[in-house]
Amino acid sequence: YTNPHLQLSSQPAQLTSFHDMSAQRELEGGDEYIEISITSPHKVGEGMGSYMAYKVSTKTNLSYFKKKDATVTRRFSDFLGLRDKLSDKYLQNGRIIPPTPDKSVIGMTKIKMSKEEDSSDQSEFVEKRRASLE
């Protein structure tokens, strides 16, 4: 198929739409992103005073952040507080804030009182909670 009104040019094409700008940005290094992963759940302490902590890693190319990669350790209650703050600030604007996983008293008591962390029930509970936080 040939169209006499279309001609190929050696000049680069001009972008004419938002979609084209997005495609150009992708070609020049990708869209802006922030990637958050929650890994390495581990018990801190012994007995009823123990708690679960998680490694939270972020990667971004947003210029707003000083560091492109950051990793911190946070406990489950930190996620509950974060959700409360996000809800207070954004829920009224119609933003959807995902729920946090249930704080299972039974599940955590079993983990707190256990000496070994390799029980399949406990591992399943911890993994489900980690995945829900992510």
Statement: the pTM of the whole predicted model exceeds 0.75:
no
List the structure tokens of 20. 């084209």
The per-residue pLDDT for range 11-60, each reduced to its tens digit, is 444 444 445 555 555 545 678 889 999 999 999 998 888 889 999 999 99
Nearest to 56 by CA among 29, 28, 34: 34
The mean pLDDT of the chain is 79
As a whole number, mean pLDDT of residues 109-117 equals 71
Do residues 80 and 103 make contact, with C-beta atoms less than 8 angstroms apart? yes
CA 43 to chain centre: 21
**Secondary structure string (H, E, C) spanning 28-90:** CCCCCCEEEEEEEEEEECCHHHCEEEEEEEEEECCCCCCCCEEEEEEEHHHHHHHHHHHHHHH
pLDDT at 40: 94
